[in-house]
Chains A and B, each alone.
Chain A
């Protein structure tokens, strides 16, 4: 069983550009959350998708948007990239509405130059 998979693993973009990151959840999971981890810091919650809807959102600007597809996979889009958006972006998947473990992917390292 493949765990949470993210693509691409690394990405370099220029300021002002747009980027799309992708996540496939662990088999059987229906909830996907995205986190941003800046260098030397703990991950910060961006948003969570459940049943193709954004369920919760952290303190991130509207430049950060997402989508969840019927197969539960998800995309994170960031528009008008800033240097400060350089970070490791982590996807986590989980199942259902109870207190369950979140499984993390290895992340996408985004560098904005």
Chain B
């Protein structure tokens, strides 16, 4: 069965320093992986997605993630944190069903705090 594990429930960085949010996945076949962000009292927004094309995926707002099959990881990074990046981040794997649009399996989330 497909699943994702987010290794940190809370991450705190200083503004202008790099961000690393860690995610490991489990899948019996080549997975489709996503990172979503959720700001307080707002819906989920897609940051980026990996669907078996390039292993380094660039997303919005300067975020990127690298798919590493040998390590079963899909860590999210950003070179320089901004105050507006403070939010909850979810690593997500999709599960296909008979060709229909997939259902999403979410990790437990990482709350990113950005200190001034």
Contacts and interface: CB of A to CB of B under 8 A. Distances in A.
Nearest to A29: B101
Interface in A57-113: 58, 90, 92, 94-107
A100 B109 CA distance: 22
A33 B103 CA distance: 8
A56 interface: yes
- The interface residues of chain A, by DSSP majority, are classed as loop
Interface residues of A, number: 31
Given A43-B106, A45-B105, A107 B43 contact: yes
Contacts, number: 66
Contacts of A4: 43
Interface stretch (B12-20, B63-71, B73-81, B92-100): B92-100
A56 B97 contact: yes
Interface of B: 32, 36, 41-46, 49, 51, 90, 94, 97, 99-109
8 contacts: A33-B101, A42-B90, A43-B104, A56-B103, A97-B99, A99-B32, A100-B101, A103-B46
